[in-house]
Amino acid sequence: TPAIEVRDLHVTLGKAAILRGVDLTVEAGSWVAVIGPNGAGKSTLLRAIGGLLPTGGAVSLMGTPLERLRRRTRARMVATVAQTPVVPPGMSVFDYVLLGRTPFVSLLGRESAADLAAVTALLDRLDLAGFGDRELDTLSGGERQRVFLARALAQEPSLLLLDEPTSALDIGHQQEVLELVDTLRRDQGLTVLATMHDLSIAGGYADRLVLLADGAVVAAGTAREVLTEEILSRFYKARVKVID
Report which secondary-structure segment, H or E, holds 205.
helix 199-205
Other Cβ atoms less than 10 A from the Cβ of 49: the count is 27
Which is it for strands 159-163 and 78-81: parallel, antiparallel or unpaired? parallel
H-run or E-run covering 148:
helix 141-154
Range list of β-strands (E), 135-188 = 159-163
Q: Residue 43, interface with ligand ADP (CB under 6 A)? A: yes
Among 1-9, 38-46, 108-116, 224-232, which window interacts with ligand ADP (CB under 6 A)?
Answer: 38-46
Q: Which stretch binds ligand ADP (CB under 6 A): 32-40, 57-65, 97-105, 222-230?
A: 32-40
Asked if 175 touches Mg ion (CB under 5 A), the answer is: no
First-to-final CA distance of the chain: 32
Is 12 a binding residue for Mg ion by CB under 5 A? The answer is: no
Query: Which one among 12, 17, 21, 43 touches Mg ion, defined by CB under 5 A?
Result: 43
Residue 4 contacts residue 49 (beta carbons within 8 Å): yes
Q: Kindly indicate which of the ranges 34-42, 62-70, 103-111, 117-125 contains the residues binding ligand ADP, using the contact rule CB under 6 A.
A: 34-42
Given 3, 42, 123, 190, the residue binding ligand ADP (CB under 6 A): 42
Provide the 10 A C-beta neighbour count for residue 9: 24
User: From the CB of 155, what's the least distance to ligand ADP, in Å?
Assistant: 23
Closer to ligand ADP at the Cβ: 18 or 169?
18
51 binds, among ligand ADP, Mg ion, none (CB under 5 to 8 A by kind): none
Phi-psi region of 109 (alpha: psi -120 to 50; beta: other; left: phi over 0): left
List residues near Mg ion by CB under 5 A.
38, 42-43
